[in-house]
Structure 1
Amino acid sequence: MGTNITIQCWNKNFGVAFLLHKDGYSAPIQRQKTNGGSTATFTLFKVTPADSGTYRCSYRVKGCCLLFSPRADNVTLEVIPGPTPPGGSGGPSRNLVVAVAGGCAAAFVIIIVLTVSVLLIAQRRRMQRDERPGGEGVNCL
């Protein structure tokens, strides 16, 4: 993951342009014109798991505008995420988990503070009511 990968295509006949196809895409993902040679090298830069898949080459036949070769044998690329380097954040998914956990913790603290505040205010009102004359305090005879 994160490295550059090269795929080399060649043919016996001289083609005008090579095409790199990825299964699942209707159009070629890269094209390369040749200068009379019979090889082409395609590079996939800093590959990620999204680059995993099956690749094939074809070429446009020399002397004909719309005639292409059949697609060649396939090459399968599997990109596996490596371990997180020491001190690394673990990527966007880990950052999202940390943000959600932090938000939940903050919400929990706010709920506790509000609950304690409401209970203290209710306690204070009860005490003030009990201290008023004619309140529910202690009656002397």
Structure 2
Amino acid sequence: MTDLHPIRLFPDDDAVAHVGAGLLARTLPRPEWTHEAHLAAIAWLVRKRPDIDLDARIVAIIAGYNESVGGVNDDHHGYHETITRCYLAGIRAFLAERPADESIHRSVNAMLAAPVGARDWPLRFYRREQPLSLEARRNWIEPTDSLMDID
């Protein structure tokens, strides 16, 4: 089967910093807010901005960015609590296994090529319809299977 969405890798650390800092500053152009950018920005925040309490601030960071570029956070679009928290846990676990001194773009590119980087990765931990529900968009839904199985 051909992948409909080939992975867009990051050429260097500056490219990862661009999406991470752009998310925080709400200056990242909307067309650049791709699946890969979502994951890279979170990885950059985890690795490079430990001063930010992501557990407390992730909603405000992503929802605020969405609104700043003309998007909405409603019952059908924008911030998704369960998918975001699932990826946050997976990214943290993935990065914890990488060398601490590895460049951020190498870590991100490895993550994008790994199972945790797949667009449908969070779906493997839930019954089919559950992570796509309105309840899951608004609130954290505990996974059916452990998130610590990031392979």
- TM-score bucket (shorter structure): under 0.3
Larger RCO of the pair (alpha carbons < 8 Å, separation 6+): 2
Which structure has the bigger radius of gyration? 1
Which structure dedicates a bigger proportion of its chain to strand?
A: 1
Which structure dedicates a bigger proportion of its chain to helix?
A: 2
Query: What TM-score results when the alignment is normalised by the length of structure 2?
Result: 0.17
Query: What TM-score results when the alignment is normalised by the length of structure 1?
Result: 0.18
